[in-house]
Amino acid sequence: MTIEKMFGQVLKKFRTSNKLSQEKLSQECGLDRSYISLLERGLRQPSLTTILILAKVLNTTASNMVHDVEEIISEDNQN
Amino acid sequence: MTIEKMFGQVLKKFRTSNKLSQEKLSQECGLDRSYISLLERGLRQPSLTTILILAKVLNTTASNMVHDVEEIISEDNQN
């Protein structure tokens, strides 16, 4: 799996656990809804600033989101 | 301070504590030395993949590096 797809999974997990639609998340972040959609589908790679902005709205930290990506990498490597 | 400059500080801290020159780090990462220099000076923003690659060579995790950036943000907000 690509890093982009792993981040997309993590983003979607936090968005849904916050009960936010892509539309609502994009409004609260000031990012395009289409960009959120591309990120969730693993078609774009987030910059550090994007991760920090998303984390704030999603009531978590950027390091937490990155840690979740690293867990998926480590599971992926075991397969 | 910008996010780019904060990440640059964190990168330089880990590079020097690993006793690596920019040249050596760039060779081990497969990234351009000039790009490492731009990152350290806060003139470029790393993608998630770049942070993951750097962290591996610097014997840390990407989440650790991002956590250090978040600490600088929080100190910065208190000033």
Give the single-character DSSP code of A35.
Answer: H
Q: Which residues in chain B are closer than 8 Å to A73, comparing Cβ atoms?
A: 52
Nearest CA in chain B to A55: B70
Q: Which of B56, B14, B59 is closest to A73 using CA atoms?
A: B56
Q: Which residues in chain B are closer than 8 Å to A3, comparing Cβ atoms?
A: 48-49, 52
Sign of the four-CA dihedral A42, A44, A48, B35: positive
Using beta carbons and an 8 Å cutoff, which residues of A are at the interface with B? 3, 7, 45-49, 51-52, 61-64, 66-67, 69-70, 73
Whether residue B79 is predicted with pLDDT greater than 90 in this model: the reply is no
Work out the average pLDDT over A32-49: 96
State the pLDDT at residue A77.
84
The CATH fold assigned to B3-78 is 434 Repressor (Amino-terminal Domain) (1.10.260)
Q: Which residues in chain A are closer than 8 Å to B39, comparing Cβ atoms?
A: none
Around Cβ B42, how many Cβ atoms within 10 Å?
Answer: 17
Work out the average pLDDT over A50-57: 97
State the pLDDT at residue B78.
82
Work out the average pLDDT over B29-55: 96
Nearest CA in chain A to B67: A63
Query: Tell me, what amino acid is at B13?
Result: K
DSSP B39-64: HHTT-S--BHHHHHHHHHHTTS-HHH
Q: Which residue of A7, A47, A63 is in closest CB contact with B63? A: A63
Work out the average pLDDT over A46-71: 97
ipTM higher than the 0.85 cut: yes
